[in-house]
Amino acid sequence: MKNIAVFASGSGSNFQAIIDAVETGELEAEITLLVCDKPGVKAIERAEKHGIPSFVFSPKTYVDKEAFETEILEKLNDAEVDFIALAGYMRLIGPTLLNEFEGKMVNIHPSLLPEFPGKDAIGQALEAGVNETGVTVHYVDNGMDTGPIIEQVAVPVYEDDTQNHVRKRIHEVEHELYPKVLQKLLHPAEVNSN
């Protein structure tokens, strides 16, 4: 059984989807750590409710990114983490973590990358007037949503859509897609044999 850590900065709805998939057996893994850079957010409550240990920190209390990533790395090692899933973690990952988890760290992003990277991807899509956006799961590298793409699903955008309409549609896709992709990545042999 692989141990995974989830990194989140907000409500943690994708974190919850991963928890649910683990609890139903759809995702064969154990979540051994939540890493959160925003004290007081809902993701932390979700971890407590499911008995998942958390490491919560405030980046501004550290000298620099290397300092807090070094502490994160210690916590990941203590929790015997094999793989990292970023789920709404709003920070670029630095070399301290990238070097240790190269090829073992993925992110989910609410657009069809390379379109609309970074913050407010849904707002960017609406502003651009596109008729579809989507969801991308990709490996994490040192850029802003620039790592190799693993899987993408298109999501329609309708003329009278608000951000909330599109966000709801995207969340539905994300919550189904992310656990499935994680299962494939963590258990590649099983996928190939079916």
pLDDT attached to residue 83: 98
Average pLDDT, the chain: 96
Domain that holds residue 109: 2-193
From the centroid of its chain, how far is CA 71?
A: 20
State the average pLDDT over residues 14-29. 98
d(CA 63, CA 51) in angstroms, rounded, equals 31
Provide the CATH number for the domain around residue 147. Answer: 3.40.50.170
The pLDDT confidence band at residue 188, using thresholds 50, 70 and 90, is confident
The whole-model pTM stands at 0.95
Domains of the chain: total: 1
**Is a pLDDT exceeding 60 seen at residue 192?**
no
pLDDT attached to residue 112: 98
Strands (E), 9-156: 29-36, 54-56, 83-86, 105-109, 132-139, 149-156
The active-site residue out of 50, 109, 165, 171 is 109
Is 138 an annotated catalytic residue? Answer: no
- Chain segment 127-144, per-residue pLDDT in tens: 999 999 999 999 999 999
State the average pLDDT over residues 49-61. 97
**How is residue 81 written in tokens?**
């983490």
pLDDT attached to residue 189: 78
Please answer whether residues 3 and 29 qualify as being in contact, where contact means their C-beta atoms are separated by less than 8 angstroms.
Answer: yes
**Is a pLDDT exceeding 70 seen at residue 180?**
yes
The pLDDT confidence band at residue 193, using thresholds 50, 70 and 90, is low
Nearest to 14 by CA among 177, 146, 164: 177
Strands 132-139 and 149-156: antiparallel
- CB-CB neighbours of 94 under 10 Å: 16
